Structures are given as structure tokens and as C-alpha cells.
Amino acid sequence: MTALARPEQAEVEASVEQLLHVGEDDYTVARMSSDDAGAFVAAGRALGGVQPGERLLLSGEWGEHPRYGGRLQVKGCERVAPSTVRAITLYLGSGLIRGVGPRLAHAIVSHFGEQTLKVIDAEPERLREVVNIGAIRQAQIVEAWAEQKSVAELMVALQGFGVSPLLATKIYQSYGHDALRVLTTDPYQLVGRVRGIAFHTADRIALRSGVPASSGQRIEAAVVDRLEAAAAGGGHCFLALRALVAQVSVLVEQDEEPIRRAIDALHAERRVVVEASMTDASQAVVYGKQEHSREVALAAQLARLFQARSTLRLRPFAEDQRLHEDQRAAVNLVLTSTVSVLTGGPGCGKSHTVAAIAATVRAMGGRVTLAAPTGKAAKRLSELTGLPAMTVHRMLAQQPDLADGMLFQEVPAEADLIVVDEASMLDLQLATRLTAAIPSGSHLLLVGDSDQLPSIGPGRVLADVLSVVEIPRIRLTHVFRQAQDSGIVQAAHRIRGGELPFLPGGGGFWFEELDDPAAVAERVIHLATEAIPRKQGIRPEQVQVLCPMRKGATGTIELGRTLQDRLNPPGDDVDEHWYGSTVFRVGDRVMSIRNNYDKGIFNGEIATVTGINPRDRLTELLTDDAHKVEYAFDELDELTHAYAISVHRSQGSEYPFVVAPIVAESGGIMLRRRLLYTLITRAKTWVVLVGQREALELAVRRLGDRRNTALPHRLTILTNS
């Protein structure tokens, strides 16, 4: 049937051949094939969550599209079991059923024909009639088939609640075959356990299922949600009781009294901790259970290390006269203090000082471990000091060194001196694990720039430790001559002091003024993909786009998509896989956004997609450290594209060239002095800012929001006891 012969209103059964576009709002464009309508393109939000190989019953209106030709604007979408031999072959070979690729799918369907799905469902033992299917492969296929059916049932259940079908897979991962029961009887269990499901999603399901709005279960879930949101979104360890009650009251539209009862109940169950504020005993604060236990533990561990007698045997040593006097003071400070902090801005010689400290300790017969929170930060530390360095995670896990595959000969955390660079990136969880692993008597040196952004996770460990007067610290302030001529260093120090950089700039810093966000976005893309690579004779991969915002024309989402399509466009010979609104292609640069100890991959590590394996539903990566790793298709929310990344995620990294949009979209809510300072100091050779002068002025003028943490007070009490 040609496009012109298609009726305006239509109902058609078709298979999904390929996803062409998936939007953040689930608006999906897919290439379809049908025995009746032939090949066509379908589009609409009703297609959200569909995957290649699925058989769909679509209803909608036919129209013409200038790019795709005949297109069905979908109003309704229902998943149906494929019935023809071709449709069944496409379904089985699409990768939906783990372990079955196109070749095996063809063999199975050639043997069983139109009865294939009935055989898999009711007589799975007959699969062994097919060549190359033994007991193990049969069990894998049956398990994957059962999982796919369960996920499909969840999708149907979720349709009535306005929940993205992508979440069905995540719910199944957490609850298995019990998922449907949890979804219909206690959806608040999903909050905090299933990534992507916040309170408002579970609440919509619960209310439509008949849960009373005044339910204690509902209010308790809202309390937990607000605490988790404060930790994840604002880095807070606690909320003031008054503020928490007010937030929950708005969220659930209930009076304060039942909310306070819910908080008391959660406290009694030890799911939250309520205690007097350490700055105002007349006020109460509320912690999430984990944040409270970690903050208390971190204070105790730091106090233990601080009060311990040093095991480092001091010997006479010759001071390096090439060091500046405050660098020499830093060497002496670290040798005599079991806990100390070294801080300073760019160009002040922190890395050179660390190298001098490490060399001195080694010359005295001591053991030194250099570490940083991320792989890039550790690599940079190693390059700057000329000494081996590792991530804090690998130091704690004592995992094989990726360079030679050998285990460490000594436990890194038991060295006489442990130096942690980029310590502003340490969050509460990582700092607690780090300090717990260090034996009493070892020296801990935290190195970082206290003017940079705090960690992504809750807490502000470096700033908190610096605010405790008992902890020895030294700030390097002398800017060395070779750094004085750097426009990046000059701009950074002016911003730190609350002054606007000299505009338009020079010597590595440049500001290009544009007002319209769309024009800013296009200019950033042009600079990153064409202008800078051509002028500097480099590859586009050496230019990093950093964004203050996630959404909007100049946010990481839109800029990242455009950069991906420019630098690694789709093609018939390029394998790809859609995960929600994100498409992963072979050749993509991606970044890990979560620690995965099983894979040995940690937050912030960069890798390249080297393979897409539909049969086994795997994405194959090669990290910048030459480490091969695989992510299952349903684990891809642990990765993000690295074409345009947030300033927060760039911490600990340094790039030859940086381009960044600076606009006050949505009020420029993320524009802060620390963010701008961090952004500029990520560039090694050039940083180009494109955008509005008033947005730049706003960022310089606006100080960062303070995080709720009581670590300084706990640490002060313990160090004085």
C-alpha cells in the first residue's frame, strides 16, 4: 500500500525496525515495517519505551513528513505477540531476548515456524531440537523470555499511571517476579530503591491505586524523599526540622502535625535521626540514616588519626632551597602532623610541593601513597609529580594495577604518608571509607583548592576540615612566574576575589559575547568541532565542552546530542542502541557517573564505546586506562555521554581546550562563583566562554549555597577531648 493510498485514520500492526529519535518527554520516532502498510515511520509519545523487534498495534493519523515521507502520527500503541514467521524472526533476533541473535533466531524460527513463541512458552525443552542449543543455552533463553514477559506486564500496568515504560525494566531488576505485586500494593517501596523513581512518581501510582492522601505510609515516604533530595541535589547532610516539615507539607498537602508524627515514627524505626542542632540546641535537625552514621564516623576517624602518635621516624633532611618559603613550610608541616591540609589556587605550586613532600618522606625511608578521587585526577597527579598515583577507590579495594595486572606489594592505605589530591571532590561516603582504612600513626595530607565546587555527593569535607582550627593547614599564595602570564590563572584569581576577569581576555582566556541562547549554543558547537581544531591543528576530541546547566539550549543534554550527531553521526554501518532518550553508538565517548566495584569502574572515568552486542544485550567499552569492560543494556543509566558534561563532573580533570556557554537561562540558577572558577581552571591551554556579559557578572557576584553539615562541630569537640 503506497503512502497516498493510506486512509487518514488508520490502525496498523507493525514491527519496530529502528529507533530514529527518542526525546526526554518520550516522544519517539521509529522506522516500522508492516505486511499491509509496508515500510513507514511512526512518531508520538505513545511509542515511548518501544524497542526494535517489538510488534505493535498502532492507531493514529497518516501524514507526510519532508524527511521521512509517509508518517503515522501515533495516538495509541499496544504491544502484541508477533504471529508471522518474519515478525517472529525479527522479534527474537532483535536483542530483546538475551542470548538470541539474528542467526540463532533464524534457526529457531526455521525449525518451529509460526509456533515458535508457543514452543518457548509452553514446551521450552523442545528448543534443544535446534542445532547449537544445549541445556545451558536453553535455560538462558527461557529465563530471558520470562523476564521479557514480566517486564511487558509491568509496562501494561504502568500505562495507566503515566509512568515511562523504561522504568518497568528498572523495577523488574530490583524486585524480579515480585515487581507487579510491589507496584500495586506498596509503590512507596520504589522510592530510593529504583533509580529514576522519586516520590512524585510512586505517589501518583499509590493515589490512583486508592491509598489515602493522609496515609502515614505516604507521609513517611515523603519525608525520606525530601531528605534524599536534599542530599543528592544540594549536598546536605541534614535538614532543619522546621524546613523539612514545611517541605513535606507542600509535597503532600497535609498539616504539620501528622508530618511530625511520621518523623517521630521514622526516628523510632531508626530510618532517620533527629537530634539537637550543634549550633543551636533549641532547634532540631533531621538526618537520613546513612548521612548521620557517616558524618559521625568520619569525625571519629579524623580525630583518631589527628591524635595518634606518628610512626614516621624523622631524620635530618636537607631542605630544598628551590622551593618557595611557604612550600618549605608545607613540607615541615606534613612531616610533623598526622592530619594536615595543603590548599591554594592555580599556579601556586601545589603539585610541585606534593612531589617535594613525597620525595622527602621516601628519602627518610618512608612509604608514600598518592591518590585522587577520580581516575583522571590520579593520572594528572602522576603526570605533575612524576610519581605513581591511583584512585582512592582502587587504593581501598587494593585492586590490580591496570598497567601491569599485579597486586600491590604493600597495602596502599597503610603507607607512612597518604596524599589525597583534589580533596574538594571527597564526599562524605568516600572520605569515611578512606579514613577508616588508614591505620593510626600514618600521616594523611588532603590537597585541594578550597575555592572549587564541593563534591557531587553530600558533604563538603575539605571545607569542613579547613574550618576546624585545630587541624594544621597551609595555603600557598605565591603565583610562580611561569603561571603569571597565563590568562587562565589571572582570570581564576580575579574570579576568586570577586572581580570580573579582564575582557575579552588573552593568554589562554577569552570571552565572546552573544546574547541569544540558541546562537550561543551554535557558536559553542562550531568552536568545539571546527574552529578550534582547525586553528590549533588538533582533533575535536581534545576540546571539551563544559556546561553550567543540564537543560535548555545551552545545557549538557541538547549540546551533547548535537555534538554527538556532528562528531559520531548515525549510519547504516554504525551499531547503536537506544536507552530511554539516549542513544549509544560505537565510537561514542562516555563517562561513568556511578561507582561500580564489580567492574572496577568509578565515577568520572572516561571510556570509548567499542561494541554493541544485541544478542547478549551488552555494550563494550575501553577505558582511557586501556581497561575493557561490559555494561548490560539495562545498566546504561550508569553512563552518560562525555561530549558536553557538567562543570561538577569535570572536577579533577584537565583538558587542553575548554569551551563553555555562559547564559542566564532559567534565571541562571547554577551560575555561582565557585562553578565559574572551577570551570576556568579545568583548561590547560585555552578556555573560551561564549555568552552574556550579565550572566558572567552574575556568576562572579553570586556566592554558592551553604551545605548543611555538622562535621566541623563534631571534629572540633573530638580533637579537643
Distance of CA 154 to the CA centre of its chain: 26
Q: Which three cell numbers stand for residue 538?
A: 588538533
Longest dimension (CA), the chain: 94
CA distances (Å), origin 584, targets 171, 539, 556, 633: 22, 21, 16, 10
Radius of gyration of the chain (CA): 28
Contact 474/326 with Cβ under 8 angstroms?
A: yes
Sign of the alpha-carbon dihedral angle for 676, 678, 681, 686? negative
276 CB neighbour count, 10 Å cutoff:
11
Contact 591/641 with Cβ under 8 angstroms?
A: yes
Q: Which three cell numbers stand for residue 702?
A: 553570586
Beta strands 505-506; 509-513: pairing state: antiparallel
Is 347 annotated to bind a ligand? Reply is: yes
Phi, psi of 142 (to 5 degrees): -65, -40
Beta strands 339-344; 473-476: pairing state: parallel
Q: Which stretches of 649-692 are DSSP H helices?
A: 673-680
Is 351 annotated to bind a ligand? Reply is: yes
For residue 504, whether the previous peptide bond is cis, meaning omega lies within 30 degrees of 0, is yes
Is 237 annotated to bind a ligand? Reply is: no
Is 77 annotated to bind a ligand? Reply is: no
The length of the chain is 721
29: closest CA among 16, 14, 41? 41
CB-based contacts of 688, cutoff 8 Å, min separation 6:
510, 511, 512, 527, 532, 657, 658, 659, 660
| Residue 331: HSE in the Cβ half-sphere, 13 Å Cα cutoff | 27
CB-based contacts of 25, cutoff 8 Å, min separation 6:
45
Binding residue numbers for ATP: 347-351
Binding residue numbers: 347-351
